[in-house]
Amino acid sequence: MRGVLVILLVSLMAVMVAAGKEGKNKKDKTKAPKSGTECAEWRYGNCVPSNGDCGAGFREGSCEQQTRKMKCKVPCNWKKDFGADCKYRFGTWGECDATSGSRARTGTLKKALYNAECQQTISVSKPCPSKTKTKTKGKKGRGKEEKI
């Protein structure tokens, strides 16, 4: 009888621990912490890295007379022209312009994070490649050569 009771107690504790871990999801970090009075219109500023131009930092939010700070991260490959909070869908790169030595593509706004003010369309450019890359497709190590 005691053995059954101990097994039942241990399994109940395991279920409670598992349920506690389920509630803590890593993706919930971006959600604002709950406070006593709920505010519907939170306005967040840009993510400001703690050191340098990218990496971990903080974002400040305000609503009515409440303010809060949230952890955030600026990717190190972000484009300074349009910021890390504006996400765009880009088309293919255009042809190389011989006069400027660059090629361009445009992007349309896909998502504005944290109510960021983003341009609807943007254009970015990059230098043309100096050489045209050619791929040779040869057989490497396929089969053995016969000896005569």
Q: What is the pLDDT of residues 76-91, one digit of tens each?
A: 766 566 677 888 999 9
Which CATH code for domain 39-77?
2.20.60.10
Residues 127, 30: Cα–Cα separation, whole Å: 36
The candidate with the shortest Cα–Cα distance to 70, out of 85, 84, 60, 62, is 60
Is the separation of the CB atoms in 58 and 47 below 8 Å? yes
The candidate with the shortest Cα–Cα distance to 46, out of 112, 116, 111, 119, is 116
- Per-residue model confidence (pLDDT) at position 37: 59
The backbone region for 143, taken as left when phi is positive above 0, alpha when psi lies in -120 to 50, beta otherwise, is left
Collect all residues with Cβ–Cβ distance below 8 Å to 40 and sequence separation of at least 6. 63
Q: Report whether pLDDT(69) > 50.
A: yes
- Cβ neighbours, 10 Å, residue 80: 7
Q: pLDDT confidence of 101, banded at 50, 70, 90? A: very high
Asked whether the whole model's pTM tops 0.75, one would answer no
**In the chain, domain spans:** 39-77, 79-129
Q: What percent of the chain has pLDDT over 90?
A: 17
Tell me the residue length of the chain. Answer: 148
